[in-house]
Structure 1
Amino acid sequence: MNKGLKIAAAAAMVFLTAGVIGVWTMVYLKNTGAGENPTAAETNRHPQQVQDYGDTENPEYADAGAFIKEFHGFYNQTTGWERINDLNMPDQIARAEAAKAYAGHFIPLTEDSALKADLKAITMHADSVIAGNGDTVLTLHRYFHDLDIAVNGYVHEQIFGVTESK
């Protein structure tokens, strides 16, 4: 019986030691932020900023090309170079609302059927982002990228092929 108590006591000590080490490791990792993306952690500590995207009732853009160029620049700045992994979704939603409004403004003013179809697609994908689908932000970026090439002559070696406009 004495041998059984010794084995049980040794087993209890092993479990107790493992538990203490496990708790200490969790506390240490939490306090040092190990394993966290610092940008994401910073974003979660401060309220996310949402930009004002202008008067969508009376767009300041002279034409669809100016709208496309401006929005392509926004998506380059907020999703390019792996920033897609750390989106400010409230700002992306606000931008998608503006994209939908501006695209809706230019649809009836556009005679080019391919561009009209692309603007309609932007409104559809913007609705997805507005509903909270962060994955669709990349699709919107690709639309504005390809349209900037097709409409404005933006020079870039990569074309995603998502637009009807060529």
Structure 2
Amino acid sequence: MKRLFTNWKKTILYTVATLTSLVGFSIVAILGLLLFMEDNYQDKVQAAETSQVQEADDTFHKPKIEDLTPLEKVEVEKTEYISEEQFVADLHSHFNEITGWGAYENLDMNQADHFSRAIVVYTKYFIDKGIEDKSLEQDFNDMRELGLKVVNEKDEESVKLLHRYLHDLDKAINGYEHEDTFGVTKTLTGK
């Protein structure tokens, strides 16, 4: 009887030890899997972010420099801008960031070049598409020339003037509210 009781004790001890080992192994396996999945998840997030940046770089809103040479001949096949109003509001916002509120003193010419290229491409697109308001069409032609001057000559004054065109056009066609008016556009001034 004593031997049976001893074997019974050993059996319980072995069973408990085996179950404890299995539970411990399972916990370690689950933790390892979670850590692997977390690393894999971070890799996927990073890959997705990189992909999104690449996709953003491929849009006409952020045109590639090599696609814009010669800039005067670029044709827009697909546009993210539905209207001239949307285009003006968006580019005005970008020019506010790079030139507005004192930023002009530390002008980033790479950004200015980038957005000026967008102006050159999109003003041509809207002009070719047909603009009913002849004053707005003239302002777009003027902005296109200024954009080319920024791209070709890195002219900082033209960057400042482009911002002023966008500011006044945003007021004229979008109702942008701001106390300043620069009086550079034909659309706003009627001249």
- State the TM bucket, normalised to the shorter chain: 0.5 to 0.7
Give the 3 Å change call, closer, same or farther, for CA 53–136 of structure 1 in structure 2: farther
Question: Offset at 1:75?
Answer: 0.9
Which of 132, 141, 144 pairs up with 1:120?
Answer: 141
Give the 3 Å change call, closer, same or farther, for CA 162–52 of structure 1 in structure 2: farther
Q: How far, CA to CA, are the matches of 2:144 and 2:106 in structure 1?
A: 23
Question: Offset at 1:52?
Answer: 4.0
Give the 3 Å change call, closer, same or farther, for CA 165–137 of structure 1 in structure 2: same
Unaligned residue ranges in structure 2 (runs of 5+): 1-55, 62-75
**RMSD of Structure 2 on Structure 1 (CA):** 1.5
Structure with greater Cα Rg: 2
Q: Does the 8 Å CA contact 1:53/1:95 hold for their aligned counterparts? A: no
Aligned to 1:8: none
Aligned to 2:150: 129
Aligned to 1:164: 186
Which of 132, 144, 147 pairs up with 2:169?
Answer: 147
Q: TM-score, normalised by structure 2?
A: 0.58
Question: Offset at 1:54?
Answer: 3.0
For residue 128 of structure 1, what is the amino acid of its counterpart? Answer: K
Q: Kindly indicate whether residue 88 of structure 2 is the aligned counterpart of residue 68 of structure 1.
A: yes
Identity %: 34
Q: Does the 8 Å CA contact 1:53/1:98 hold for their aligned counterparts? A: no
Corresponding pairs, count: 116
Q: How far, CA to CA, are the matches of 1:52 and 1:156 in structure 2?
A: 32
Q: How far, CA to CA, are the matches of 1:55 and 1:93 in structure 2?
A: 14
Question: Offset at 1:55?
Answer: 1.7
Q: Kindly indicate whether residue 115 of structure 2 is the aligned counterpart of residue 110 of structure 1.
A: no
Q: TM-score, normalised by structure 1?
A: 0.66
Aligned to 2:105: 85
Unaligned residue ranges in structure 1 (runs of 5+): 1-50
Aligned to 2:48: none
Q: Kindly indicate whether residue 75 of structure 2 is the aligned counterpart of residue 55 of structure 1.
A: no
Higher relative contact order (CA 8 A, sep 6+): 1
